[in-house]
Amino acid sequence: MVRNIVAIFNLYLDVYFYTCMKPKIFDVIIIGGSYSGLSAAMALGRAIRTILIVDSGTPCNLRTPYAHNFITRDGEKPASIARKAKEQVLNYPTTQFLKDEVLRAKKSASGFELLTGHGITLNTKKLLFTTGIRDIIPSIEGFSSCWGISILHCPYCHGYEVKDKKIGLLGHGKTGFELSRVLYSWSKDMILFTNGESHLTKEQAWLLKKKNIPVIEQKFLSIEHLNGQIQFIHFTDGTTYQIDALFTKLPFEQQCNIPQQLGVELTEQGFIKIDDFQRTNVTGIYAAGDNTTVFRAVSVATAAGTKAGSFINRELIEEEF
């Protein structure tokens, strides 16, 4: 009860502050407050730009226990990295943070007008989307409980932790074959599960057999796990396989569809299309992070955010000077 009252009070404070005290027009509003968004905010805050970060608090890696391949932070919890980054970013007085969700956006005379879930109207000269993507989880019992913990997407992020262990690979055709080739560097004890017909070419099947990688075509029934740590895979034909980790490449969708509402183009793979300066095809709109690239890593997102912030500031300079 007390917690609910505090939450409502904080909401009213947010609404009051952003309707009565905010700048009439922000230089930049960043939608998405994870690594890429915070990195961009730091670059822009240090450039003394008025910045608002709007974030709902649901990052794609919410359940990932540890981040890797990020020097000085290897093995640290992703939430801990984000928390420290947010504290440092908000030390810059022209940078503000709003826990909210943007529902709609439209072009305006000054740039863009946004409406949030709390009913707040915001105006900005430039927009940066660092909203990430949403993985589409298959309807296999136990899969969602293991996703990000022992069912993994990136060998460079998580392969070392399961090196030389029994690894499962979920995929068929070219995707399954490529997963097998890549993960073979980390473990020689692996099984390719195709969850139906393998769709492998004769050459691919021969190469996998040569490397002693079994191909299992039976369909998944369920995944048995202990607190997200995969134990066994159960199949519809009654067979069971024990593995320590499962790697797969899931389909995805954009976490936020507002860029498309504003006319932003996507690539054939479903990422936001950007140029070398993180610009989209719509003037004044930029994007950075997982919503733009297949390379899903904290280090890559952070670098992209810094790059986006720098180029947005450059564009503002060119318009003002």
- Please tell me whether residues 24 and 158 are part of one structural domain: no
**To 5 degrees, how large is the angle CA 53–CA 58–CA 62?**
125
Last residue of a domain, one of 248, 276, 300: 248
Please say which residue of 197, 226, 248 terminates a domain: 248
Grouping H, G, I as helix, E, B as strand and the rest as coil, residue 44 is: helix
Q: Which amino acid is at 51?
A: I
Together in a domain, 130 and 168:
no
Strands 112-116 and 102-107, bridge-based pairing: antiparallel
Does 204 share its domain with 309?
no
Same-domain check for residues 89 and 238: no
Residues 119 and 184 in one domain: no
Last residue of a domain, one of 214, 248, 282: 248
Please give the chain's pLDDT, 321 residues, in tens: 555 555 555 555 555 555 555 678 999 999 999 999 999 999 999 999 999 999 988 766 666 777 787 877 787 888 888 899 899 999 999 999 999 999 999 999 999 999 999 999 999 999 999 999 999 999 999 999 999 999 999 999 899 999 999 999 999 999 999 999 999 999 999 999 999 999 999 999 999 999 999 999 999 999 999 999 999 999 999 999 999 999 999 999 999 999 999 999 999 999 999 999 999 999 999 999 999 999 888 899 999 999 999 999 999 999 999
Whole-structure pTM value: 0.89
Of 138, 106, 103, residue with least CA distance to 256: 103
Within this chain, do residues 124 and 19 fall inside the same structural domain, yes or no?
A: yes
Residue 231 CB contacts under 8 Å (≥ 6 apart), including other chains: 224, 225, 242
CATH number, domain at 221?
3.50.50.60
The answer to whether residues 25 and 109 belong to one domain is yes
Which residues on adjacent β-strands are paired with residue 214?
none
Total tally of structural domains belonging to the chain: 2
Q: Identify the bridge partners of residue 229 per DSSP, sorted by sequence position.
A: 226
Q: Which domain holds residue 25?
A: 2-134+252-320
Query: Is residue 237 domain-shared with residue 283, that is, in the same domain?
Result: no
The helix, strand and coil proportions of the chain, stated in percent and rounded to the nearest 5, come to 30, 25, 45
Cα gap 213→190, rounded to integer Å:
6
